[in-house]
C-alpha cells in the first residue's frame, strides 16, 4: 500500500479518514491535528507558557513531544502516586524523556511525590478516607496540577486526553445523565475564576491508536502497562464498546464526540448563563487552602483531614 501523500510505503491506514500514510506523512498529520485543535478551540498562543501533566504513558509524553516540536513553551509535571513498581517504572520513563527535552528545548520537569508530601501512597490514602482509589487520585491530581500551574505562573494546563477518552467519558455521562459533567466536558475549560488555571486537551482530535502509532514511529519510550487501579473501570468498558462500534462503522467515535461539541456550542450560544458566569456565582476560595470550591472547604482539604483523622473544620 502506497502513502496517499508521497511515493513511500504506507505504515498506517486511518479508516475514518480513508487515508493511508507513511511514517513522515503520518507524523505531519498528527502535528496538524494538534495545531488545528489548539487554534480552533483557542487553547493558547505561541508566547503562553504551558504545563503538561505527564504520567509516563504514551498520550501525555506524546503531547509534550508534539508541543515542543510545534515550538511551544511547554514544561511538565509528574505526580508520583506511590503505586509500587508501576510508579517507579512510570517515573523512569518520564525522567528519561525530560532529560532529552531539557537538552533539546530547555524544558523543565516538576515532580510532586504523594508518599512524601501527603504521608502515604494513593491506595493507602483511599483506604484511610473510605474513598474509591481513582476518586481520591482524581481529587489529588486536579488539586496539585492546578496549584503548581498557578504557583509557577503557567498560562494553561494541558492533559493528554485523546478522542477515545473523551468519547468514553461522554458515553458514561450520557448513560447516567450526569448533565453537570456534560457542561464541563470540553477541549478548553477557561480559567473562569481567579485560582483556577485554564485547562486544555490538545489531543482530542486523535484516537488512542493514532497516538500509540505516533509514539512508536517517533521512538517515544513510554510505560505500556495501564495503572493497576484501572482494572475493571467503567471507562475501559465504554472504550471497548466504542471500539466495537468503530470497527463496524469507522468514524463513530469522531462523529459522537465532535457532534456533541457542535451541539454544545450551539446550546451555550442560546443559554443566558455561560459556564464562566455560573462558576463565578458558585465558587468561593477554600477556607483552608484558598483554591476555588463550591463548599467552605475544598475536596482535597477534606480528604487530607480525613486521612490524618482530624475532624474537618473551617478556619
Ligand atoms: S492513575 Fe489514578 Fe488513573 Fe490509576 S489510580 Fe485510578 S485515576 S487508574 S487516570
Ligand atoms: Zn482546600
Q: How confident is the model at residue 272 (pLDDT cuts 50, 70, 90)?
A: very low
150 pLDDT higher than 50: yes
Ligand 1 pocket test, pick from 54, 86, 133 with the greatest ligand atom count within 8 Å of Cβ, gives 133
275 pLDDT higher than 70: no
- How do beta strands 188-189 and 73-80 pair? unpaired
Residue 5 falls within a domain, yes or no?
no
Give the pLDDT score at 218: 98
Residue 293 falls within a domain, yes or no?
no
- How many domains is the chain partitioned into structurally? 1
Give the pLDDT score at 46: 96
Q: Return the higher-pLDDT residue of 255 and 309.
A: 255
Residue 128 falls within a domain, yes or no?
yes
CATH number of the domain enclosing 220? 3.40.50.620
Whether the Cβ atoms of residue 56 and residue 91 lie closer than 8 Å to each other: yes
293 Cα–ligand 2 center, Å: 8
CA–CA separation, 190 and 198 (whole Å) = 5
For residue 157, list its beta bridge partners.
Answer: 51, 199
| pTM metric for this prediction | 0.92
Q: Which three cell numbers stand for residue 69?
A: 516540536
Segments forming the whole domain that contains residue 227? 38-282
Name the closest ligand to CA 160.
Answer: 1
267 pLDDT higher than 90: no
Give the pLDDT score at 310: 56
State mean pLDDT over 158-186: 93
Residue 235 falls within a domain, yes or no?
yes
CA–CA separation, 42 and 73 (whole Å) = 16
312 pLDDT higher than 50: no
Index of the ligand 1 atom closest to the CA of residue 55: 1
State mean pLDDT over 129-148: 95
Q: How confident is the model at residue 271 (pLDDT cuts 50, 70, 90)?
A: low
146 Cα–ligand 1 center, Å: 17
Give the pLDDT score at 308: 84
Residue 86 falls within a domain, yes or no?
yes
Give the pLDDT score at 126: 95
pLDDT tens digits, 189-226: 988 677 889 999 999 999 999 999 999 999 999 999 99
Backbone angles phi and psi of 54, in degrees to 5: -110, 145
Index of the ligand 1 atom closest to the CA of residue 230: 8
pLDDT tens digits, 240-258: 999 999 999 999 999 999 9
Index of the ligand 1 atom closest to the CA of residue 233: 8
Residue 190 falls within a domain, yes or no?
yes
Is any ligand 1 atom within 6 A of the Cβ of residue 159?
A: no
Residue 81 DSSP symbol: -
273 pLDDT higher than 70: no
Residues in the chain: 315
Q: How confident is the model at residue 269 (pLDDT cuts 50, 70, 90)?
A: low
In percent, the amount of the chain with pLDDT more than 90 equals 82
Give the pLDDT score at 113: 98
Name the closest ligand to CA 292.
Answer: 2
Give the pLDDT score at 313: 45
229 Cα–ligand 1 center, Å: 6
Residue 6 falls within a domain, yes or no?
no
Give the pLDDT score at 314: 41
The average confidence (pLDDT) of the chain is 92
Give the pLDDT score at 104: 97
Ligand 1 pocket test, pick from 86, 90, 144, 227 with the greatest ligand atom count within 8 Å of Cβ, gives 227
- How do beta strands 19-21 and 49-54 pair? unpaired
276 pLDDT higher than 80: no
Of all helices (H) and strands (E), which one includes residue 158?
Answer: strand 156-158
Residue 28 falls within a domain, yes or no?
no
CA–CA separation, 51 and 58 (whole Å) = 17
CA–CA separation, 42 and 57 (whole Å) = 26
Amino acid at each position: 500500500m502506497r502513502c496517499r501523500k508521497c511515493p513511500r510505503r504506507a505504515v498506517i491506514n486511518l479508516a475514518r479518514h480513508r487515508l493511508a500514510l507513511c511514517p513522515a506523512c503520518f507524523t505531519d498529520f498528527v502535528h496538524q491535528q494538534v495545531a488545528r485543535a489548539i487554534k480552533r478551540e483557542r487553547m493558547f498562543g505561541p508566547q503562553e507558557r504551558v504545563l503538561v501533566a505527564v504520567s509516563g504513558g504514551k498520550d501525555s509524553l506524546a503531547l509534550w513531544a508534539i508541543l515542543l516540536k510545534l515550538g511551544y513553551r511547554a514544561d511538565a509535571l509528574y505526580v508520583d502516586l506511590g503505586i509500587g513498581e508501576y510508579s517507579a517504572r512510570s517515573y523512569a520513563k518520564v525522567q528519561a524523556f525530560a532529560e532529552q527535552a531539557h537538552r533539546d528545548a530547555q524544558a523543565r520537569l516538576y515532580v510532586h511525590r504523594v508518599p512524601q508530601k501527603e504521608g502515604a501512597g494513593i491506595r493507602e490514602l483511599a483506604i484511610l478516607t473510605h474513598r474509591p482509589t481513582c476518586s481520591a487520585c482524581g481529587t489529588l491530581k486536579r488539586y496539585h496540577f492546578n496549584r503548581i500551574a498557578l504557583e509557577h505562573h503557567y498560562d494553561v494546563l494541558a492533559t493528554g486526553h485523546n478522542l477515545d477518552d473523551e468519547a468514553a467519558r461522554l458515553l458514561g455521562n450520557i448513560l447516567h445523565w450526569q448533565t453537570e459533567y456534560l457542561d464541563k466536558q470540553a477541549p478548553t475549560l477557561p480559567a473562569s475564576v481567579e485560582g483556577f488555571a485554564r485547562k486544555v486537551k490538545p489531543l482530542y482530535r486523535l484516537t488512542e491508536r493514532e497516538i500509540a502509532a505516533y509514539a512508536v514511529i517517533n521512538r517515544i519510550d513510554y510505560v505500556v502497562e495501564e495503572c493497576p487501579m484501572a482494572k475493571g473501570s467503567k471507562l475501559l468498558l465504554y472504550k471497548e464498546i466504542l471500539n466495537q462500534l468503530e470497527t463496524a462503522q469507522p468514524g463513530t467515535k469522531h462523529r459522537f464526540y465532535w457532534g456533541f461539541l457542535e451541539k454544545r456550542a450551539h446550546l451555550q450560544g442560546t443559554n443566558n448563563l455561560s459556564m464562566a458566569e455560573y462558576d463565578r456565582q458558585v465558587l468561593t476560595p477554600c477556607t483552608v487552602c484558598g483554591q476555588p470550591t463550591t463548599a467552605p472547604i475544598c475536596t482535597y482539604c477534606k480528604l487530607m483531614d480525613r486521612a490524618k483523622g482530624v475532624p474537618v473544620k473551617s478556619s
